[in-house]
Chain A
């Protein structure tokens, strides 16, 4: 009995020692890393006392000393030896083929500045993470960029779903996010004056263009036929703010690809204008079945998702569009700045820039200029600098001055388009007008 008791007592002791050792090790590690980073920040901002106290309190002297010395050697302005810029790109998944090319825009901006010696002699490093066209993957990658690489500014992501998840995270971490392509109106409301910016126009502007088309006619009964996803619902919400809720709203499944029942309900509501948002795949079916249903005597207004020659491959769809549909789409970028960018892009990578390649370049260039302007590697300061310099920044994708909400660019123009039957069975897209938002005052 006695010996067994002694054994169990000594086992317990050993267990306690092991636990204590692990806890001690973990504590040392946490203390060391916390102490180091806190000490570094405190030291680098020049506050010896602050750094000393915080560093000491949070962990151990070693961490503090390292941090302090690292900070001292830099002095102010404070820039790291290598300036890191994070990049969330869909290099695989649904948008993969596009993302691989879109990232080249950002890469070009970084390469060009590095070729001229970087920022104050410090090179810029673009750290690209593949987000696989998956929102959850984007958040994971953003965490890696912020917590492992320590970036203060990120270019991307490309899709709305990813921006929804990454936005709150960067806001919490005070890291600046500049997206080249997320157009969902929700960004403007959810992240106003925060840490999310976009250099492409919000769908709110397109919705305003569509609303003007609706309001320019004498329409009393408005129907909404909108695909049920963030892109469709975003535009629907913005149009409804301007023209009211209309007579009927149908949100359809964009993968169902058979909409006779939905169109029948639209027809039963007897509208004089239908506001539609869809993509090619569903749009083709909606329009050809609208022709079957006899809805060509109603005016249809659609968005950028159905702009393009693939829509004209289906003769029934093309015929319907020529009879009834008017649409909007962002005005393609032209002009000498874009042409020059295109030439540089071609020289660097042997190919023309992808759609959003220009905004990807502008996002990266604004980030770089922002860091250079404020002379500090700090998300909040970079953001304030970007808001300031963007007033005078005109890049390949246009003038990037931001609205007071700090999220959206001020201006963007839209094309109003029609489909024209040039000869029996031959159709083409014609640009009938241009639309710009009213001047902000």
Chain B
């Protein structure tokens, strides 16, 4: 067994989960409901990256940036047009959640009308790197996602601690009434938070699709591990999600190695996120890292 490779793959998977789950955690903190439409923000980003890169011939870097912006815009629109009016009218968590499922289905099926329900390939040959020591073999797309997630994490940390908007976002997430009474424009802050959440999700989708293949259920398949990450990290906590993303990524990669060694089907790998999720909800529903949040 090549430990270095499994560790590296865990980082790659963790990075994708981080990008997908940060948004989930962020919107949960700001709007207090699990947003199932996040899955479609992820897929939409992938489709936009595909459209810009393959259909319009834009450089992949710019295509990814467009994915970032358009998924962000989609998320902000979703908040502004659907979730904000609903919560103003006093919708409950469950009602908002169901609305997010419905909105997600609409986005998914509109995308399928535009790009079809089939499999799309980015048609890009990413350079492959093979390092003799540590013995790791990978391609540019996976290296980029690791770097990108690290940069994003650092940028988010600085944003949340050093900027006015970032601090306002944390304040709103912590206690919305207190934030309001301190003069924070809660609606505006939430809108910007939703934009960021969608943008990061779109980026994760673009990376995943470029490294594998693009199907309409791309984001939906990422949603379960993303929820596992969000809950493991303590819903609404960015730093918790950061650690949790890499833990779930490693659990899945080592899990497959373990399953294979036990001569079990690797098909059970999807169950790993489920098992983590169930155990957590049973024994530590507040998340692994909630207690240390005071230091945030």
- The interface of chain A, by Cβ under 8 A from chain B, is 228, 248-253, 255-258, 260-262, 264-265, 267-268, 280-281, 284-285, 288-289, 291-294, 310, 313-317, 319, 425
Looking at the assembled complex, report how far the CB atom of B37 sits from the nearest CB atom of chain A, in whole angstroms. Answer: 21
Contact present for A264 and B9 (CB under 8 Å): yes
Contact present for A281 and B126 (CB under 8 Å): no
The listed residue (B6, B208, B221, B261) touching A264 by CB distance below 8 A is B6
Contact present for A257 and B213 (CB under 8 Å): yes
Q: Given A251-B266, A313-B121, are A261 and B128 neighbors across the interface (CB < 8 Å)?
A: no
Contact present for B265 and A228 (CB under 8 Å): yes
Closest chain A residue to B10 by CB distance?
A261
- Docked Cα-Cα span, A107 to B217, in Å, equals 37
CB-CB under 8 A from A316, the residues of chain B are: 125-126, 139
Contact present for B124 and A252 (CB under 8 Å): no
Q: A258-B208, A267-B2, A294-B128 are in contact. List 10 more A-B contacts (CB 8 A).
A: A250-B266, A256-B270, A257-B221, A261-B269, A264-B257, A267-B5, A268-B1, A289-B212, A315-B125, A316-B139
- The interface of chain B, by Cβ under 8 A from chain A, is 1-2, 5-6, 9, 12-13, 119, 121-126, 128, 130, 137-139, 142, 208, 211-213, 215, 217-218, 221, 252-253, 255-257, 260-261, 263, 265-267, 269-270
- Docked Cα-Cα span, A264 to B119, in Å, equals 24
Contact present for A251 and B265 (CB under 8 Å): yes
- Docked Cα-Cα span, A252 to B12, in Å, equals 20
Contact present for A261 and B256 (CB under 8 Å): yes
Looking at the assembled complex, report how far the CB atom of B259 sits from the nearest CB atom of chain A, in whole angstroms. Answer: 9
Closest chain A residue to B124 by CB distance?
A315
CB-CB under 8 A from B9, the residues of chain A are: 260-261, 264
Closest chain A residue to B209 by CB distance?
A257
- Docked Cα-Cα span, A280 to B75, in Å, equals 32
Closest chain A residue to B6 by CB distance?
A264
- Closest 7 CB pairs between A and B? A261-B256, A314-B121, A265-B260, A251-B265, A294-B137, A315-B125, A228-B267
- Docked Cα-Cα span, A280 to B119, in Å, equals 8
Closest chain B residue to A311 by CB distance?
B121
Contact present for A285 and B6 (CB under 8 Å): no
CB-CB under 8 A from B260, the residues of chain A are: 248, 250, 262, 265
Closest chain B residue to A266 by CB distance?
B260
Q: Given A264-B2, A264-B9, A294-B130, are A256 and B269 neighbors across the interface (CB < 8 Å)?
A: yes
Contact present for B257 and A261 (CB under 8 Å): yes
- Docked Cα-Cα span, A251 to B266, in Å, equals 6
The listed residue (A228, A261, A315, A319) touching B253 by CB distance below 8 A is A261
The listed residue (A262, A265, A292, A315) touching B142 by CB distance below 8 A is A292
Closest chain B residue to A254 by CB distance?
B267
CB-CB under 8 A from B255, the residues of chain A are: 261
Contact present for A260 and B269 (CB under 8 Å): no
CB-CB under 8 A from B5, the residues of chain A are: 264, 267, 293
Contact present for A265 and B139 (CB under 8 Å): no
- Docked Cα-Cα span, A184 to B257, in Å, equals 30
The listed residue (A250, A258, A262, A280) touching B212 by CB distance below 8 A is A258
Q: Given A258-B212, A291-B128, are A253 and B266 neighbors across the interface (CB < 8 Å)?
A: yes
- Docked Cα-Cα span, A289 to B138, in Å, equals 9
- Docked Cα-Cα span, A255 to B269, in Å, equals 12
CB-CB under 8 A from B218, the residues of chain A are: 257
CB-CB under 8 A from A252, the residues of chain B are: 265-267
Contact present for B217 and A255 (CB under 8 Å): yes
CB-CB under 8 A from A310, the residues of chain B are: 119
Closest chain B residue to A262 by CB distance?
B266
Q: Write 7 A-B pairs (CB below 8 A) sorted by A numbering.
A: A228-B265, A250-B265, A257-B213, A261-B6, A264-B2, A281-B215, A292-B138
CB-CB under 8 A from B2, the residues of chain A are: 264, 267-268
- Docked Cα-Cα span, A293 to B5, in Å, equals 9
Contact present for A284 and B270 (CB under 8 Å): no
Q: Given A253-B267, A292-B139, A293-B137, are A261 and B212 neighbors across the interface (CB < 8 Å)?
A: no
- Docked Cα-Cα span, A268 to B254, in Å, equals 13
CB-CB under 8 A from B138, the residues of chain A are: 292
- Docked Cα-Cα span, A248 to B256, in Å, equals 13
Looking at the assembled complex, report how far the CB atom of A122 sits from the nearest CB atom of chain B, in whole angstroms. Answer: 45
Contact present for A257 and B266 (CB under 8 Å): no
- Docked Cα-Cα span, A314 to B120, in Å, equals 9
CB-CB under 8 A from A251, the residues of chain B are: 265-267
Looking at the assembled complex, report how far the CB atom of A247 sits from the nearest CB atom of chain B, in whole angstroms. Answer: 11
Contact present for A261 and B215 (CB under 8 Å): no
Contact present for A261 and B252 (CB under 8 Å): yes
Looking at the assembled complex, report how far the CB atom of B128 sits from the nearest CB atom of chain A, in whole angstroms. Answer: 6
CB-CB under 8 A from A281, the residues of chain B are: 119, 213, 215
